[in-house]
Structure 1
Amino acid sequence: MRERERQRFDTWVAGDAYERYMGRWSRLVAQEFVPWLGCGDGLRWLDVGCGTGVLTATVVARCRPRAVVGLDRSAGFVVSARAAVRAPASFVVADALALPVRDGGCDAAVSALVLNFLPAPDAATAEAVRVVRPGGLVAAYVWDYAQGMPFLRRFWDAAAAVDPSATSLDEGRRFPLCRPGRLRALWEGAGLADVVVAPVEVPAVFAGFADLWEPFLSGQGPAPGYVAALAPATRDRVRDTLRQMLPVQPDGSIALTARAWAVKGRRPAHPDPAL
């Protein structure tokens, strides 16, 4: 499958569908990520690729920001974020590769689960560096698709067992950026100092198989987009194969984990003349 065809499954537009599929786990990661940043109160924040406002809401709740602006290229996500997050947050439709913020206009630029979906992560990181003040923070987290997302890992294993062509859509293969060495190299290549990469692991507990499977029917995101394109009989085979691969508890629940890689660094107070 060609990359352009794969990218058509990467669409994120509907807030409710995203919340059930990934937002609930991203919220748990955000609650660990924000304290890890070690930021004080009263700062100006930028949330790049804010989605439904999960990370923005955590910043508002924990950091008492002077202001926090969430940006996303999806108008649908911006509508959901505006409805969910109170002041001092505000939200606008914008592109991570061309941030509508002046040089040095904020104290911290953060993003959640966005970098791997951007066509030019290096350009997006450079934009984040541009808009933070000298000494300001640039930080992000992404899912560990290759090894740290068991429900996705088992899904793609089940899909490949039924349909070998599904391997070309597997996020663990498609997104090598979502590994600690690649993230560190991206941050250091952007000229950031004091770069730290760390895992953030949270529980991903499903009430039952339906709680895990039904979000895959939303058609939004790589795996749900793939499921939506399947013939009904093939979809049922993938579903049944996946069910057999999962560790189901006696009460029917499925207890897994979700791991993200977090990265942070600071814009040097004085530019390095070698860069």
Structure 2
Amino acid sequence: MARRFVSLLDAAPGGSWRDIGCGTGAVTQAVLDLAEPETVVGIDPSPGYVQYARRTVTDPRAHFALADAVNLPFADATASVAVSGLVLNFVPDPPRAAAEMVRAVRPGGLVAAYVWDFEEGGMETIRAFWDAASALDPDARALDEAVRFPLCGRAPMRELLVGAGLEGVEVDAIGVPTRFSGFDDFWQPFLGGQGPAPAYVASLPQERRAELRERLRSTLPRAADGSIELRARAWAARGRRTA
């Protein structure tokens, strides 16, 4: 998804990029591979993510630092492009984060972000999980990303970037297939404990966890070879700072 996002931007080669909420460095790596930047600076508030990105993204053009999306450690108008991947729904003040990204880029500079499409069911893996969880536990509905996250649709992403003062805002859907070799391959990521769905699984006693697992096993569509074919979709929004 990160590579599809960077390709969609069609940014001019060169320039200085900022990756806001860089996490593991996936977007930074995609920028390095596809956009021919002079430099990329990724920031994240998690020391673990910053350390991981520094270990795995070894290109000398990339640098990583601890920082928060609503207080970027960059001078005004010093970047060519500011991007953010799958982060803005987790920021306590998305409009301020968007404004900070705009502040960091030069006039005419590009600001872009993408988030998972929870609003319109574009994340079939997550939709299947919460449908099963809510059928067994009505209280689980309040934890569903479609309920909790405000920026998971086309219109909210457009409003966010327009509200930050960007011109020519466009929002596109990016879809990718998500294929699992079997149910165990599907279920394993939910045992990691990180993120709303895995955290919910971790909170369940063993018997209820097993009940949820078996309900999912019985409802997911499977091919003759046992594989599970689903789709993931994100909304990618971009615009330029007023010149």
Gapped regions of structure 2 (runs ≥ 5): none
CA deviation map 1:6-60 (0-9, x unaligned): xxxxxxxxxxxxxxxxxxxxxxx11111111111111100000000000000000
Q: Does 1:111 align with 2:84?
A: yes
Q: CA deviation at 1:162?
A: 1.1
CA distance in 2, matches of 1:179, 1:268: 24
RMSD after superposition: 0.7
1:93 and 1:237 map into 2 onto residues whose CA distance is 40
- 2:200 corresponds to 1:221: no
Are 2:63 and 1:90 equivalent residues in the alignment? yes
Q: Distance in 2 between matches of 1:94 and 1:224?
A: 26
CA deviation string 1:84-115 (max 9, x = no partner): 11221111111000000000010000000000
Matches within 5 A, 1:71-150: 71-85=43-57, 86-146=59-119, 147-150=121-124
Structure 1 residue ranges without an equivalent (≥5): 1-28, 270-275
The answer for the alignment partner of 1:57 in structure 2 is 29
How far is 1:83 from its partner? 1.2
Which residue identity does 1:144 align to in structure 2? D
- Equivalent pairs counted in the alignment come to 241
For 2:41, what is the secondary structure of its paired residue? strand
- Show CA shifts across 1:121-160 (max 9, x none): 0000000000000000000000001310011001001101
SS at match of 2:109: strand
Counterparts of residues 1-275 of structure 1 (less than 5 Å): 29-85=1-57, 86-146=59-119, 147-269=121-243
- Which structure 1 residue ranges, 4+ long, deviate > 6 Å from structure 2? none
TM-score between the two structures when normalised by the length of structure 1: 0.86
Give the match's secondary structure for 1:32: helix
| 1:40-83 CA distance string (max 9 Å, x none) | 11110000000000000000011111100010011111111111
SS of the counterpart of 2:74? coil
